[in-house]
Every structure is written in C-alpha cells, then in structure tokens.
Chain A
C-alpha cells in the first residue's frame, strides 16, 4: 500500500503557480528523498500533504485518506518536522517535547530521555535561548520519540552539526527498520544518497525526475577516467562524450548512457592502461537539471 499518494496536485497563490501537477508516491517502509533547489515547491508540497494549505486541484492522500478532509485522523499517525522550527520562547525544550509527545498520543519517557541524551540537548533551557540547531533537535526528539507510521521531514538537518546529522541518520534508519515510511525533503544530497530508497527531483513546481537512485543513474552520464597508450584526444569529437579534459595523459569525461558501448569500443582501440568508471552522484544529477534550468532561463 502507498502511504503517500499524490496525483496531479496543483497549487496556485493568486496568479503564481507554486505546484504544477505534482505526482508523488511513498511506499510502506521506504525512505523517499525529495530534492530540489530553494523555492522549487518542496515545502509547499509538504504543507499540502499536512492539510495546512489546500491544493487548488488534484488529489493527495495519506494512508488512503484525503489530506485536507481527514487531516485530523491522518495526523494521529504522522510526525512532521519543519526546517525552520519556531518554538514558544518562554517554555523549556523539555516542556515542549513533552507537550508535543502528549499531543501525539503519549509520552514514552525512556525513549524521550534516550533521545535527549543522544542529541545532547539541554532540556532545561528556555526555547528562546536555543540556537537554530537546538530548536531543530527539540523537534527531532519529539518526532523520533513518537509512535507514527509516516515521518514527514522538511530539511530537518539544515542547522545540525555533522555529529548530530550522523545521529539523525541513525534515527531515520531505525525508523525504516521498523517498517515505517519517511518523506525526507533535503538539499544535503549526500544525506539523501545515503538514506533514501527512492528520490524525486522537483523544479519550479514540477517533478522532473523520480525513481530509485539506480534508475536515475541509468538516465545520466557515467563518469569515466582513462589512461591510454595512444593519445585519446580524438575522443573529444566523438558524439555522446561531454566535458572532456586531459591532464598529464589522464583523460576524464562523461558518456551518455546510450552511447556507452560505442565509446567503449573506441577506447579499447587506444590500449587502455587504466580505467575507472563512477556512477554519477546525486549532485551530478541535480546539477545537470539545474544547469538546463539556467540555460532555459537564458533563452
């Protein structure tokens, strides 16, 4: 069963179209990475999913229920962590965590205290004195100490240090191990690469790419580095090869997936001394879409 199912969701604010026909699915027990540049519509999509704002058209369902009409029922089993956590300045971190936990059902004191310890939060300080990172910790502790089937996390680690981010990743993996689903919006691509089973890339309110990382990689160029006996300079004119560079006899370039076999044939004629091929990183994927975006704008 799909935990989250979004079909053709469009959201307009006046004349501005923030989301334009979004399709998205999060399956049970999977971590779904939702990536895109700032202002692409990640948070708007999440706000629609949370029933905080209403989609102009299209359907969005969580647990098979309508996100707007059945918001209350859905929220009993959903946990949300915003990227910019606003807390009540005159309550302490501990008080806020307890309040959130109680609102979501009940306080599992053991889990709560363990997480406070893990994230190294001082729960006795007033929220007004917390830094951005500490405010995020409050929200994350309250989230991971709750019983929920779906975790919606909107750039939850933007203020955390690498140590804490590591702990965050452990928490996500634990949750996943327990068979729960996670929708993780992020632009820390290494994090998404590490945690997510499937990824959706959003740009200007449209999902432009979606699938498992492997699937996405098939669509993109492979990075290849070779060292050859003969000069490989001729390869630069070969169609399907991009960003060809040479440095001290070592050539590096990218190859379109459909031209890979032709290119490899050519390469083998040159007397290969060394060959390395790396799959494109998520950053490569992301940058490629971003670049075409810029080109489109220039036109």
Chain B
C-alpha cells in the first residue's frame, strides 16, 4: 500500500500548482516560438546565417552556448538549436528543481506533509504525486514546444527536428526532476535542497563548457553536455535522449529508495551545526543587511561578468557580420561616420546598463520584502531610525548597482580585447558606462518613491525597467513616439561616440534623482509599517 491515494494527491497537487505550471509552460514555449520567428527575420539569407555560425564558432561562444553543429548548412533550425536549446533546457531544469523542492521538502518543512501522512495514504504517494506532476509539466512543455515550432512553419525548422527539440527539453527537465528528488532526501531544508540542486545544474553547465571547448568525453558526463549531442535540426541523434531517460529512471528509483528509508523531517546528509555566536560583521545593522544578501549579490556579480563577456566575445566578427545583415543595419540606423561596431557598442551600453540595474533593484527591494515579513520591526525597535534603515538599504543597493555596471563592462572589455584585432580601450568603455549611472539612479529613485508612498506597489518599478528596455531594444525597429521614449531615463543619456556628449541631461537626472530620494526618506518616516 505504498501508493495508496496517489491519484487523489496528484489532483490535489495539480490544483495548487496549475497556475505556476501554466505560466512556466507559456513562458518557455512562447519565448522559443517568438525567437524562432525572430531568427527567420533577422537571419533570412544563408549568407547572414553563415556569418553568424562563424561568430559562434569561437571558443568563448562555444563555452557559453555549446558547440556549433551543421556549419556547412547552417539552417534556421540549426541556429535555433545552437543558440537557444541550452538556455531553454537550463530554464526547464530550474523549473523542475523549484517545483520538486516546493512539492516535497517545502511541504515537509511546513508540516503539511505530516498532516497528509497521518491520513490513510501510502508512504510513497506524496513523492510519486510530486514526481508525476512535474514530469507531466515537462512533457507538456516539450510537446507544446514541438507543436509550436511545427505550426510556425519556417524553412529549416523541420518536423523531426522539432520533435527532437521538444524531446530534449522534456528529458532535461526529467533528469533534473530526478536529481532534485534525490537531493531533497539528503538535505533537511527546502532552501538547502534548492541550493544544492541549482549548484548541480551550474556544475553541469561549467563541466559542459570546459568539455565543449576541450574534451568531448567531459561534456558527456554533464547532463547538459549530453543533451546537446542530439545535434537537433542537424543530425537528430536519438541515443542521448534514451540515455537521459535511463538516468532519470535511476535517480527516481534512488529517490524512492532513500525516501522509504529515512524518517520524516530528517535529511540523510548530516546537517552541520551553524555558528553559536555572530561574527563581527553581523553585529551592525549594515553588516546584517549585507550578510543577508551576500550569496545573492555574489551570484549576480558573477552572472553580470559572464553577460558582459558573452557580448564582448562577439565583438571580433562584428564588422563582417553587420555588413551582411540588413536587419541589424536598420536596427542601428545608418550613420556612416561611425563604424558598425561603434554604433553597436552604444546600443550595447544601454542594454548592459539596464541589465546592471536589475541586481541593484533586487537589492533595494529587499527592504520591502523584510517589511512584509515584519523583520524590519526587529531593527526599528532597537534604536535604529527609519532614515538610517532606508539609507542602509539605499547605500548597499547603490554600491551593488555601480559594481554590477562596472563588472559587466569589464567583462565586455576583457572578452572583446581577446577577440578584437583593435581592442576598444577600457577607459572609453568605462567612461561611456559612467554616463549611464544617472539613468540607473532614476530607477532607484522610482523604487524609493514607490516604497515610501505606495509600499504595496513597490514592484511596479520592474514595469518601468522593462519599459525602458523595450524602448531601447525595439526603438530602432519600430517607431516609438519621442514623448513615450522620453519617459525612460535611459533615453536621455547621450550615446557616445555617436551622440555628442552633453552634461545637462545628466545633471538634471542626478538632481531629480536626489530630490526623489530625499522626499522618499520623509515619506517613509511618516508612514506606517505595512506588513
């Protein structure tokens, strides 16, 4: 009777997770189909695709997105699989990790699992229902992706390849479902389970990166390396899919075995005792705030370095690439005075500075998160003023914003210098980057104003950031009215070297930003804490 009431639990879990599942499905399938459509437009001719293939063949790019297959006949499909498959697979892997961890350890931690186990249900029913549910979501995403890719009916994206593409997504999700199911038996907390599983995913990514550049055998050890060996849309090799299914089964059986053996609430890994006393750092409010976001900040900065480097690594082949691509020429506008690379750089600067804003905003928004969890009260009732509390969060986020911008730019420069014949001086990049700090300040100021006056709507700042991104990103392609584009603070920054540098907009933005920050201080001081 290990599986008694499995069906009921499955329906029960499904009812609680249908919305999240649908959002994941729509996002993954949607992005895949949209990108496939974009690729057809961006790289319509064989020549354009070939230039792209050459760009992607350099080791930096191979390490990032995986090996290029089918260079001789680089179809839209081959390009799709080359550029999108690995990242989509990672996303579906992350989804599986989060869902399994939430459905198993989290439930156990919160005592819901105990409640269910006290009822006449089988000992393995809960775990099975979680596994089946996540497996189903993976299957649906794979099939929907296949369906979507077939339906858009694009040359170079054939039926067999599309089936393969979907299948690869599904089996990647399944593998990480199995791996996470095992890891949740090992750790005592859901945070630990999620963290360890994501670490395994990252390790798989890096092992594959090294392997793809240097050793085929090493790549095969990594689940993410394995699935790329399917050569989707090129050779459509099925055996890695089969191996993935076998790996999934092995992990699933192992998870059931461990689950059946261990006590409820216990983990199989010995949980090492934490610190008895606080370190020096923790003993100040600022130190506490820093410590609480330490891991997150470090991860973001590393990610930003990679992001910068990934853009930098394509700089080498840009001229020839742009020369062939009408779409990009239109995107950048034709300005014969400057090289394509220079023009591309200006756009890159805006995009990278918008990305660098993300960790800054996340860091600042913690103040609202802590307020919601009523943990700000701990600090506010121990002699720390509202002004100080807000200033600490503000200060930390400013430092993170500046750091993340310059780390991104450094990554861009370092990778660029490695691949370009005539590297851009670091100084130029840093100066161009600095001019975006006022625009970032405005984003932070908006977050502050929302937090001070409309705390429940603080996350609206994301909408503004996304809006800014689209005005920049699409601004070149579709005509966005000037007044609308001007709402974005990033639109006011002179794009050196294409625009002439002027101080006035920067000064105005900084002044507006500072005034908004001061006003926010008073707003927060004079409002209630809202949980």
Q: Which residues of A contact B (CB under 8 A)?
A: 47, 50-54, 71-73, 75-76, 78, 80, 82, 84, 86-92, 94-100, 102-104, 122-126, 128-129
Contacting residues, chain A, for B277 (C-beta < 8 A): 94-95, 98
Inter-chain contact A71/B385, CB cutoff 8 Å: yes
* Interface residue? B22 (CB, 8 A): no
- Binary CB contact string for chain B from 289 to 300 against chain A (1 if under 8 A, 0 otherwise): 001100000000
Inter-chain contact A53/B528, CB cutoff 8 Å: yes
Which of the residues B109, B282, B373, B375 comes within 8 Å of A95, measured between beta carbons? B282
Contacting residues, chain A, for B73 (C-beta < 8 A): none
Contacting residues, chain A, for B273 (C-beta < 8 A): 122, 124-125
Closest 3 CB pairs of A and B: A98-B278, A92-B274, A53-B528
Which of the residues A99, A123, A124 comes within 8 Å of B282, measured between beta carbons? A99
Cα A95 to Cα B375 with chains together (Å): 15
In the complex with contacts A100-B378, A124-B274, A76-B528 CB distance below 8 A: no
Inter-chain contact B278/A99, CB cutoff 8 Å: yes
* Interface residue? B20 (CB, 8 A): no
Inter-chain contact A89/B288, CB cutoff 8 Å: no
- Using C-beta atoms within 8 Å of the partner chain, give the interface range for chain B: 20 to 34
* Interface residue? B380 (CB, 8 A): yes
Q: How many A-B residue pairs have CB under 8 A?
A: 101
- Binary CB contact string for chain B from 257 to 277 against chain A (1 if under 8 A, 0 otherwise): 000000000000000011111
Q: Which residues of B contact A (CB under 8 A)?
A: 109, 188-189, 191, 273-279, 282-285, 288, 291-292, 373-375, 377-385, 526-529
In the complex with contacts A86-B373, A99-B288, A52-B276 CB distance below 8 A: no
Q: Give chain A nearest CB distance to B106 CB in angstroms.
A: 11
Inter-chain contact A92/B276, CB cutoff 8 Å: yes
Contacting residues, chain B, for A126 (C-beta < 8 A): 189, 274
Inter-chain contact A104/B383, CB cutoff 8 Å: yes
Q: Give chain A nearest CB distance to B329 CB in angstroms.
A: 50
Identify which of B189, B377, B381, B385 gathers the most chain A CB atoms within 10 Å of its CB: B381
Inter-chain contact B375/A103, CB cutoff 8 Å: no
**Closest Cβ neighbor of A96 among chain B residues:** B278
Q: Give chain B nearest CB distance to A116 CB in angstroms.
A: 9
Contacting residues, chain A, for B285 (C-beta < 8 A): 103
Which of the residues A80, A98, A128 comes within 8 Å of B381, measured between beta carbons? A80
Q: List 30 A-B contacts (CB under 8 A).
A: A50-B381, A52-B377, A52-B528, A52-B529, A53-B528, A71-B380, A71-B385, A72-B383, A78-B381, A86-B375, A90-B292, A91-B274, A91-B278, A92-B274, A94-B276, A95-B282, A96-B278, A98-B283, A99-B278, A100-B378, A100-B382, A102-B284, A103-B378, A103-B379, A104-B383, A124-B276, A125-B273, A126-B274, A128-B189, A128-B191
Inter-chain contact A88/B528, CB cutoff 8 Å: no
